[in-house]
Amino acid sequence: MFKSNLSLKVFSLIMAVVIWVQLNLNADHQSVVKIRTQFKNVPRNQSELHQVRSVPFNVRGKGMDVLRLKLSRTVAVFDAEGYDKSVNFSAMDYEIRNRPSNLNLDILGPIKDYDPGADNNTSKAKEDKASANGREAFTQDESGQGADQQQSTRVMENLAIRSNSGLIFTPSVATIKVMGTVEELKKLPRGIRIVASDDQDAAGTYELSAELPEGVELLDITPRRVRQRK
């Protein structure tokens, strides 16, 4: 009974959300949407305009059309001839390009009192903070162990089995798992030699051992024993 009521409540909540979304997408809204921006006829002393990537516009239309505008590649091209910092963007001539077809929406114009300088300062502050965090992380990494000095493991396969007596074994290759610093493991398989014992045991098998570079530790070897090939 409890599970049934819980399922019903969850279903009702989902339906309520779906209905709310549908109503909002089909209702008329007046919203602010940032539209990508380009400039033409930019005065030489106003080159900072090229740093303005988007300008917030007042728009009015159904929620679905507002969403389509946000996801589109619409561009506002401003004529910057005669522009100076005392001129508000809402007073500049502009042309809307790449507007999606059948978009039932009014683009009313840039918001009043938009300050591109303040927008750029905010973006620059975020970039400076990210750079500072990156420098701090790099410094901390340098003060500790570098990535190449961290311990790791590596599996090496198809390593030929050698014999000091010139014997041939079956199987003829071995697999080992080793541990060491990342720097040392990168150099492998150089310096590795898999060797069978000189003498066989009572069962007629030879024990394998691994000769490894300094700083590399053997964790496992497969197989551990082999037989002489007849």
In this structure, what CATH number is given to the domain that contains residue 42? 2.170.120
Q: 75, 97, 116: which is the final residue of a domain?
A: 116
Q: Shortest CA distance to 34 belongs to which of 57, 18, 13, 51?
A: 57
Q: For residue 212, give its domain range.
A: 149-228
Structure confidence by residue, pLDDT tens digits, 133-155: 444 444 444 445 566 678 888 89
| Tens digit of each residue's pLDDT (9 = 90 or more) over 44-85 | 787 778 788 889 999 988 888 888 888 888 999 988 887 777
Q: Which two tokens stand for residue 202?
A: 């009572």
Answer yes or no: is 18 within a domain: no
Query: Is residue 47 in some structural domain?
Result: yes
The tally of domains found in the chain comes to: 2
pTM: 0.43
Write down the pLDDT at residue 138. 41
Q: Which amino acid is at 66?
A: V
Give the 3-state secondary structure of residue 135: helix
